[in-house]
């Protein structure tokens, strides 16, 4: 009888560990989404065109005073998201497979940070 009881306790402990680790995984994932680094993502997804000598920088230099998106103070997050999702001028649209909504939002927030609004 005591043997079976011990088995039950062991199973109970296993179940608790499984539940706890599941909970931990969910929490860790939530944190990951909240901690998306807009600056790092901008460099990963956009900088190939928006750095020094990039095609975006070169073309923007023709029509705006500050061609570096990171130095702009007039960008709103909405404008950045719209430009990236729809494409603008010679910039191709960035699909969700390239940058997820969460990632693009983090990038847009980072680029809009210089905006006083």
The binder of ligand HEC chosen from 76, 92, 102, 113 (CB under 6 A): 92
Taking the complex as a whole, the smallest distance from the CB of residue 33 to ligand HEC amounts, in Å, to: 17
Task: Supply 24's token pair.
Answer: 């931990």
The binder of ligand HEC chosen from 50, 77, 106, 110 (CB under 6 A): 50
Distance between alpha carbon 25 and the CA centroid of its chain, in Å? 19
| Rounded CA separation 38/13 (Å) | 41
Taking the complex as a whole, the smallest distance from the CB of residue 110 to ligand HEC amounts, in Å, to: 9
| Rounded CA separation 106/2 (Å) | 57
Residues 45/88, Cβ–Cβ less than 8 Å: no
Binding residues vs ligand HEC (CB under 6 A): 45-46, 48-50, 55-56, 59-60, 63-64, 69, 80, 83-84, 88-92, 94, 99, 104, 107
């Amino acid at each position: 009888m005591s043997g079976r009881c011990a088995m039950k306790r062991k199973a109970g402990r296993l179940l608790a560990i499984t539940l706890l680790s599941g909970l931990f995984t969910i929490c860790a994932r939530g944190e990951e989404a909240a901690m998306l680094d807009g600056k790092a993502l901008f460099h990963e997804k956009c900088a190939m065109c928006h750095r020094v000598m990039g095609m975006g920088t070169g073309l923007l230099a023709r029509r705006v005073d500050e061609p570096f998106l990171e130095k702009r103070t007039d960008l709103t997050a909405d404008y950045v998201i719209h430009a990236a999702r729809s494409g603008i001028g010679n910039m191709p649209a960035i699909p969700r497979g390239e940058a997820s909504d969460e990632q693009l939002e983090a990038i847009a927030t980072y680029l809009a940070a210089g905006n006083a609004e």
